[in-house]
Structure 1
Amino acid sequence: MANLLQFSRSLNRRLFPLIFDSRCLMAAAPTTIHLQSKREIFSDEVLGVDRFVQLRQQVSQRFGKQKQIFFERLGEHIADDKNAILSEDLKNLLFLCENSVDHIDLLKRTIDKFEKQNESLRFGLFQFGPVVMRLARHLNNVDMAMWIFNPVGFFYFSFIMFNQ
């Protein structure tokens, strides 16, 4: 690991020298730039995962021991075609969902039903795409993340709108 780090540093020094020629800068002496910080573009903080985890803990505390009852009732609610899915139910499901097959399946079925009932109301709704991506990152579930990029449905559109 240390050898790889040394190789990386030497490569960076050769590709991006830190000492500039004084003629290019119109200065009397060579200028040295010391890099003191770095920024990771895919860190949890930048992507908003840390805030998502805080909200997840708050919702989990609010539900307490009633989480399993919530999952069961939501599953029954989805089974009936006459029932509508409220955005608050979907938000709560996103914050309570664990990395289990049952929870992920319930989430996908809820999203599909929510998408079908709100096809004509794409604009003005809460944008669930980024929140689902944060959940996928938090759970480290690559399959769920790839499912979101299906080019049909509001998740694809909300992802595009989020990144404009």
Structure 2
Amino acid sequence: MALRGLSCCVPFVLRQCNSTRLTVLHAPVKFNWFTCRVEARRYLLSEDVVRLEDFQKTKLAVARQLSGSKGHFFNTLNQKIETNQLILKDELKLLLLLCQTPEDMVLARNAIYRYHAENVNMAFGEFRFGPVFMRLCYELGLADLALNTLTDKRLKGFFPDCTSFNLALDLLFSKGHFEGALELFGEMKAQGVAFNKDTFTLAFATCYKLNTPRSYQICLALLEEGQAKASFIPRHAYCIAVAFALTQDDVKRAQSIYSQIMNTESRLCQNLRVLLLAKAGSMNDAVSILTAALLSDSLQLVKKPDFCQEVVDVLRERSKNGPWSVQVERLFKKLKDAGQVNPQKLEHLLYRTPTGKRKLLSFLKEGNRRTSSRRTLRPLLSE
């Protein structure tokens, strides 16, 4: 029942967009890849998924190799659209990779309408236009365009992959358009696009941000549906669901969800564990966790476990005027003196940007490995 609501040729210059984490590609002058990497931060998708830097490099290479002017090519495509001529796959690919402004994106969407009308019953092969268009929306901060395009009935079937939806969802989330993101989850389900691990994280986080009884029921329904289908739901998503249940004062449900997390050694899990125990009234167990963290035998250069101020404050409030009050206050002072209480809110941990897959250092990569000695020129006996 809860899910029923869901169905309803020159280098480029980067300039800042409305969102502090997004960058916009504009024409000409110099490109700073380090700046791009720092400014293009997201909330819930890793760089492995967004791949904004690689995408911008591809755009730069295509712009440099373009024969003729971009304006002439765009005018030619516009004439084809106006006269209902056939738009080829390579033409649409080139058009998308040359887009630099919101005005360019209007032409791109019109070209997609025309292309999809001619190829609605044909497979697009290995190339997928959806992620390219959504990365453009992500790059330019066009959240409304992304939402309207994905929910446009005329383009049904053009975005069959969850990557396109996830990019749009992350963009909507980062801009605070939570109702729009919730609408998009409904569209995914209506089109039969399967959720992957990133979708579950985005879905739970969106529901948590809305923080209403309806969004809570949707979150629980999605969780149960994902488990019934044996979908992979990441630890990050489970943690958000636990925090949401606690916010809704559903302690029993929070305990049930937390018990399904396989590895609870992370900083976020430990904070949630203390918060869960405090709200459940299990003061002894909560104090035991904090005491163990204080007395942990970590190496001097290894940071000891720390806890959010608001988590510890909940424990202090729940123990106030009770038998555990003195011990909790004493423990709190020791943790604070040891630097194990930080002012960060729990949401800071919940809405972190995943690191993604760690890349090997260049000298460890297979293609860069030396096979002969630089001194003797003889083969290295490393195997």
- Per the TM superposition, whether the score is higher than 0.5 is yes
Greater length-normalized contact order (CA 8 Å, ≥ 6 residues apart):
1
Identity %: 29
Paired position in structure 2 for 1:120: 121
2:54 counterpart of 1:57: no
**CA distance 1:72–1:45, shift in 2 (3 Å):** same
**1:13-162 alignment runs, 5 A limit:** 41-63=44-66, 66-81=69-84, 83-101=85-103, 103-122=104-123, 124=125, 126-150=127-151, 152=153, 153-159=156-162, 160=193
Looking at structure 1, the residues matched to 196 and 52 of structure 2 have their Cα atoms a distance apart, in angstroms, of 16
Looking at structure 2, the residues matched to 84 and 114 of structure 1 have their Cα atoms a distance apart, in angstroms, of 7
Q: Is the 8 A contact 1:149 1:156 kept in 2?
A: yes
Looking at structure 1, the residues matched to 98 and 82 of structure 2 have their Cα atoms a distance apart, in angstroms, of 20
CA RMSD, aligned part only? Answer: 2.5
How many residues in Structure 1 have an aligned counterpart in Structure 2?
Answer: 123
Looking at structure 2, the residues matched to 131 and 100 of structure 1 have their Cα atoms a distance apart, in angstroms, of 15
- 1:156 Cα deviation from its structure 2 partner: 3.3
Q: Is the 8 A contact 1:148 1:155 kept in 2?
A: no
Q: Is the 8 A contact 1:129 1:148 kept in 2?
A: no
Query: What secondary structure, in the 3-state scheme, does the structure 1 residue paired with 2:93 have?
Result: helix
Q: Is the 8 A contact 2:134 2:146 kept in 1?
A: yes
Cα deviations by residue, 1:103-139 (Å, 9 ceiling, x for unpaired)? 1221111000011000110363621111111111111
Q: Is the 8 A contact 1:85 1:114 kept in 2?
A: yes
**CA distance 1:85–1:123, shift in 2 (3 Å):** closer
Looking at structure 1, the residues matched to 99 and 195 of structure 2 have their Cα atoms a distance apart, in angstroms, of 23
Cα deviations by residue, 1:77-128 (Å, 9 ceiling, x for unpaired)? 11112x2111111111111112233x12211110000110001103636211
Looking at structure 2, the residues matched to 87 and 136 of structure 1 have their Cα atoms a distance apart, in angstroms, of 20
Q: Which amino acid aligns with 2:82?
A: A
Q: TM-score, normalised by structure 1?
A: 0.65
Q: Which amino acid aligns with 1:72?
A: N
Q: Is the 8 A contact 2:102 2:140 kept in 1?
A: no
**CA distance 1:55–1:84, shift in 2 (3 Å):** same
Q: Which amino acid aligns with 2:72?
A: I
Looking at structure 1, the residues matched to 76 and 195 of structure 2 have their Cα atoms a distance apart, in angstroms, of 31
Cα deviations by residue, 1:17-75 (Å, 9 ceiling, x for unpaired)? xxxxxxxxxxxxxxxxxxxxxxx752444312111111100111112661111111110
- 1:151 Cα deviation from its structure 2 partner: 5.4
- 1:155 Cα deviation from its structure 2 partner: 3.0
Q: Which amino acid aligns with 2:74?
A: F
Q: Which amino acid aligns with 1:63?
A: L
- 1:154 Cα deviation from its structure 2 partner: 2.7
Looking at structure 1, the residues matched to 58 and 195 of structure 2 have their Cα atoms a distance apart, in angstroms, of 20
Gapped runs of 5+ residues in structure 1? 1-39
Looking at structure 2, the residues matched to 156 and 91 of structure 1 have their Cα atoms a distance apart, in angstroms, of 15
Q: Which amino acid aligns with 1:59?
A: V
More helix by share: 1
Looking at structure 2, the residues matched to 49 and 162 of structure 1 have their Cα atoms a distance apart, in angstroms, of 22
Looking at structure 2, the residues matched to 130 and 162 of structure 1 have their Cα atoms a distance apart, in angstroms, of 15
Gapped runs of 5+ residues in structure 2? 1-42, 163-192, 198-383
Looking at structure 1, the residues matched to 195 and 76 of structure 2 have their Cα atoms a distance apart, in angstroms, of 31
